[in-house]
Amino acid sequence: MNEEQLLVITSFPPRKCGIATYSADLIQAIDEKYTRDFTVGICALLKEDDQNDYPSEVKYFLKTEIKEDYTRLAEAINEDKSICAVYLQHEFGLYGGELGSYLIDLLEKLKVPVITTFHTILSDPSEERKTIVQQIAERSAQLILMTKRSASILQSDYQIDEDKITIIPHGTHLIKPRKIQKLENVPFPDKTILSTFGLISEGKSIETALDALPSIADKFPNVLYLIIGKTHPEVLAVEGEKYRDFLRDRVKELKIDKHVLFINKFLALKILLEYLQRTDIYLFTSKDPQQAVSGTLAYAMSAGCPVVSTPIPHSLELTAGAGINFDFQNSRQLADAVITILSDSQLMEEMWMNGLHNIRPTSWQNAAIAHIEIVRETLKTEDFYLTPNYKYPAISLGHIKRMTTDFGMIQFAKVAEPDKASGYTLDDNARALIAITKHFDQTGNFKDLHLINTYLEFILFCQQEDGSFLNYVTIDQQFFEKNRDENLEDANGRAIWALGEFLDLRHVISFHLHAEVETAFLESFEIIRHLKSPRAMAFSIKGLNCYYQYCHDPETLKLITQLADNLVSKYRGVSNENWQWYEPYLTYANAVLPEAMLIAGQSTNSELYKSTAKKTFDFLLSITHENDRIMMISNIEKHVEGKARTSFGEQPIEYAYTILALDKFSQEYGELEYVDQLKATFNWFLGDNHLHQIIYNPCTGGCYDGLEEHHVNLNQGAESTVSYLLSRLTMERYI
């Protein structure tokens, strides 16, 4: 069979229009998200006067004004046996014939499924327009709309079945929030920046913002309004710069020359996003109530801009808590909205945060996943089968370093900004030490040494005279009172695991803290002997095993045996034919228990430990990897034997522990099923989850804190970010 191909019929760069930009971004996102098990082809729409030089990836062309060309294209697509589906981008005006009726000829003759994206759906349509939309819908396997409002109109005004409709919001770019970047040479550092961007035309109603500007400037004299973009080429061809000249005359009339800057360029994406990151408030002033979506609005929100917008459906659905909507062409309301936001720094902060939470699910990565999922569902009943595999992101320590001070790793983050008030924990710094030692073992990166030293010194700081460790430390390097009120056994176990991992690094590096770390490790033995938490025992076994590989000390092996015997005893005490586990419930860090048992079996050559490890791990996987769906035990409540599981509330750390365990078991037993399960488990981070959304953010290098029933927790704290890094480092073995 030929390589599978999706063909996108669309306007495409270098043609300048919103749909061309949209399609280019979507195709790039699919290409970056998936391996080359399939390709995305492009059929570019040509107008009669099209002189553009199209890139090589454009394989087909459609001369939209020539009726016969639609039949020719259909025949060419049908002859290309690699094409398994067609994505059609639809907007009235793109296709020839009355209301684009030539398009029906193409759709009637195509033999592969067509998935149509409607960019505009007008309410109260004429009978002619309604008929065209219904004919397109009838000949499409699925329809994509970008807003709930558009989907509702399609059902009510066009009588299209809801089952045929999928909502995929307009994609947006992941951008590092300005707050976490060290911006140098910021333009206009003393100005409050308002901006509007896009291809300029009368429909943007930019004069509405200009008319509001004198009132805004009266309150905020340092305001500067950037009007970014060239005149729309189709407008330019008909009336030249008539509208831009009108705007310039309005600026002079209002005497606001020093508050307005026209930037008459079609900016590259990177440059455009820099403008948006510098923007304090984005103004969207379209006067068209039928406009469903706006890519410019979405891009502005992705940069963290509070927005003031006319109430198109896209804005109403995205700007809740992230901006203010005003009536079409109402300059007074626009001015009041801008003044309200600029007058309240706390409100601006809340809008920034709410905007990021509202817009992140619409990232191009998530849009790519959603589009490929539609193709997979559509092709289930066809002769073609799409088999996409995710590309693994490059390993990045960017957010790890952002979260780390000279003293240690900060516990929590607000989105991607370290929340210093949360302080530090032994848990996070122990996990960070484990991850960075593994990273250094793989790469030998010189910059890792400073991080290793930081995390080591933090752990040593937390150790007490009796060999135990405290967990919670303030930003001022004082111990929190809650250390006295909580059971810290698990934190102690993680510290022992981390120190052991470091000591086992002796074959790679001779470090000045080795002797001090070994002393601290040995001082913890008395604590280890009295552990009662199964997970603390498991963490300790992992650390002790690392140390045993380092020193082959009989006392260490004796401790491993003592802890493993204790876990076996727990297993025998509660297990039965249907419940092969160490406790009468499953809770957190489950995979660590069988992994530690396997490690103990390898250290002591005990078949009892190994067989117990395999039985319990396979039992755990039968619950978390059931019916081709992977879902870890919820952090909301324990899963008790004989009772229904609580769904959702999944944490990255549970996936990391499972990946580490699957790696260990696949190496020991050589079973391909473990490898398949390992890869599938890692794909959860990349979007293979019930929301089909990314959990790892490749822009910041951070990992989101959790997957809930209807949303992703976008904060990128230490635990989740280190958990992803541990998982990604493990996957290097399987690339």
Task: Please indicate whether residue 126 or residue 358 has the higher confidence score (pLDDT).
Answer: 126
- Measured CA distances, 491 to 431, 452, 487, 540 (Å): 10, 18, 9, 10
Q: Which residues, 6 or more positions from 465, have their beta carbon under 8 angstroms from its beta carbon?
A: none
- pLDDT above 90 for 644: no
Least confidently predicted of 165-179, 615-629, 721-735: 165-179
Place of tokens 């695991």: 497
Q: Which residue has the tokens 């801009």?
A: 305
Provide the residue ranges of all domains of the chain, joining segments of one domain with +: 4-167, 178-362, 398-734
Q: Give the per-residue pLDDT at 357.
A: 86
**pLDDT, tens digit, 9 for 90 and up, residues 338-377:** 999 999 999 998 998 888 888 888 999 999 999 999 998 8
689: tokens are 């989850």
Task: Give the type of residue at 269.
Answer: L
- Specify the range with the lowest mean pLDDT, choosing from 22-31, 295-304, 449-458, 592-601: 295-304
Distance of alpha carbon 334 from alpha carbon 209, whole angstroms = 7
Residue 409 DSSP class: B
Average pLDDT taken over every residue of the chain: 93
Q: What is the mean pLDDT of residues 85-109?
A: 96
Architecture of domain 4-167 in CATH?
Answer: 3-Layer(aba) Sandwich (3.40)
177 against 718, higher pLDDT: 718
Q: What does the pLDDT average to over 402-417?
A: 96
Answer whether residue 116 shows pLDDT above 60. Answer: yes
Do 38 and 8 contact (CB within 8 A), yes or no? no
Distance of CA 611 to the CA centre of its chain: 39
Query: How high is the pLDDT of residue 295?
Result: 83
pTM of the shown model: 0.90
Q: What is the pLDDT of residue 110?
A: 97
In angstroms, the CA 208 to CA 212 distance is 7
Secondary element (H or E) of residue 694? none
- In this model, does residue 666 exceed pLDDT 70? yes
Model confidence band, residue 186 (pLDDT cutoffs 50, 70, 90): low
pLDDT of the residue at 388: 77
User: What confidence category does residue 1 fall into, taking pLDDT thresholds of 50, 70 and 90?
Assistant: very low
Instruction: Please report, rounded to a whole number, the percentage of residues in the chain having pLDDT higher than 70.
Output: 97
Residue 169 has pLDDT above 60, yes or no: yes
Given a cut of 80, whether residue 453 has pLDDT beyond it is yes
pLDDT confidence tier of residue 183, bands split at 50, 70 and 90: low
Q: Name the 3-class secondary structure at 625.
A: strand
Given a cut of 90, whether residue 387 has pLDDT beyond it is: no
Answer whether residue 525 shows pLDDT above 90.
Answer: yes
- Summarize the confidence of residues 629-638 as an average pLDDT: 92
Q: Extract the runs of DSSP E, i.e. beta strands, from 247-325.
A: 260-263, 281-284, 307-309, 323-325
Strand partners, 630: 625
pLDDT for 704: 97
Q: Is 243 exposed, middle or buried (0-12, 13-18, 19+ CB in 10 A)?
A: buried
Cα dihedral: 425, 428, 431, 432 (round 10): -110
Averaged pLDDT, 440-465: 95
User: 332: which residues sit within 8 A by CB, 6+ positions away?
Assistant: 212, 215
- Please determine, for residue 178, whether its predicted confidence score (pLDDT) is greater than 80: no
First and final CA of the chain: distance in angstroms? 25
Fold match between 4-167 and 178-362? yes
Q: Which of these ranges, 266-270, 334-338, 497-501, has the smallest mean pLDDT?
A: 266-270
Instruction: Give the SS3 label for residue 486.
Output: coil
3-state secondary structure of 84: strand
Distances (CA, A) of 565 to 227, 538, 601, 607: 72, 11, 11, 12
By the 8 A CB rule, do 159 and 286 touch? no
Is the pLDDT score of 636 beyond 60? yes
Model confidence over 328-338: pLDDT tens digits? Answer: 999 999 999 99
Q: Is the predicted pLDDT of residue 115 greater than 60, yes or no?
A: yes
Predicted local distance difference test score (pLDDT) of residue 52: 86
The CATH architecture assigned to 178-362 reads: 3-Layer(aba) Sandwich (3.40)
What is the CATH T-level fold of the domain 398-734, as seen in this structure? Glycosyltransferase (1.50.10)
Q: pLDDT-based confidence at 182, cuts 50/70/90?
A: low
Q: In the predicted model, is pLDDT for residue 45 greater than 70?
A: yes
Please tell me the predicted confidence (pLDDT) of residue 384.
55
CA–CA gap between residue 111 and residue 387 (Å, rounded): 21
Q: Which two tokens stand for residue 360?
A: 């992140």
The whole-number pLDDT of residue 2 equals: 56
Residue type, 684: W
Which runs of consecutive H residues, i.e. helices, occur in 444-513? 448-462, 489-503
Q: Which of 361, 356, 298 lies closest to 689 in space, CA to CA? A: 361
Phi, psi (deg, nearest 5) at residue 25: -65, -40
